[in-house]
A = this chain, B = another copy of it.
Amino acid sequence: MLPGNSVAFSAKTEYGIVSLVELAAIYEQGGVLQVAEIAHRQSIPDRYLEQMLTSLRRARILRSIRGPKGGYQLARPPADITIADVVGCLEGEAAARAAASRDTPEFEVLSALQERLDQARAAILSGTSLQDLLEQRDQLAQAQAMYFI
């Protein structure tokens, strides 16, 4: 009934998150990445990715630099950006609809169940930061490197 907020992220959200993880990796050095660069590495249509990065900039999650040598960088440390922030930004527009369930007792208990689901989801999303995902990515890379010893 509120058709954003799905368990399976939309392409918008997925593209946004993976881009942010890439940017998180270079946050310490203060580096920037360009849309085309991220899009190429992640096999995402660049003109489409542009829209997500624009939304993230408007939400103050990213900063942008124009002109040659320009690009994007995180607006604050990766540990201070949660996945809930990102999801709220990228699928917030469509999901801003009231549930408006029928008022029978059966629909009411259903709403209560939905509430529990939303809270469980929100707990995970707001308990996971870009820093967390970045660390997981690095651990993954390390684990995979082990196979080649």
Inter-subunit contact A110/B133 (CB<8 Å)? yes
The majority secondary structure among interface residues of chain A is helix
Tell me if A149 counts as interface (CB < 8 A to partner B): no
A36 in the interface (beta carbon within 8 A): no
Size band of the A side of the interface?
35 or more
CB of A16, distance to nearest CB on chain B (Å): 10
Each complex incorporates copies of this chain amounting to 2
Question: Are A9 and B114 neighbours in the complex by a CB distance under 8 Å?
Answer: yes
Q: Would you list which residues of chain A between 124 and 140 have a CB under 8 Å from chain B?
A: 124-125, 128, 133, 136-137, 140
Does residue A146 face the partner (Cβ distance < 8 Å to B)? no
- Which residues of B are found within 8 Å of A137, using beta-carbon distances? 105-106, 108-109
A42-B104, A124-B117 given as contacts; is B1 within 8 A of A8 (CB)?
A: yes
A7 near B6 with CB under 8 A, answer yes
Let me know if B113 and A83 touch, CB within 8 A. Answer: yes
**A47 located at the interface, meaning its Cβ lies under 8 Å from any Cβ of chain B in the complex:** no
Which chain B residues lie closer than 8 Å to A1 at the CB level?
Answer: 8-11, 14
By Cβ-Cβ distance, the 5 closest A-B pairs, closest first, are A18-B106, A6-B6, A2-B8, A109-B136, A21-B106
Knowing that A83-B113, A105-B141, A117-B121 touch, tell me 8 more A-B residue pairs with CB under 8 angstroms.
A1-B9, A1-B11, A1-B14, A18-B104, A18-B106, A42-B107, A113-B133, A117-B125
A–B pairs, 19, beta carbons within 8 Å: A1-B8, A1-B10, A2-B8, A8-B99, A14-B107, A17-B110, A18-B110, A21-B106, A21-B109, A22-B106, A42-B104, A105-B137, A106-B133, A106-B137, A110-B133, A112-B136, A117-B124, A117-B125, A120-B121
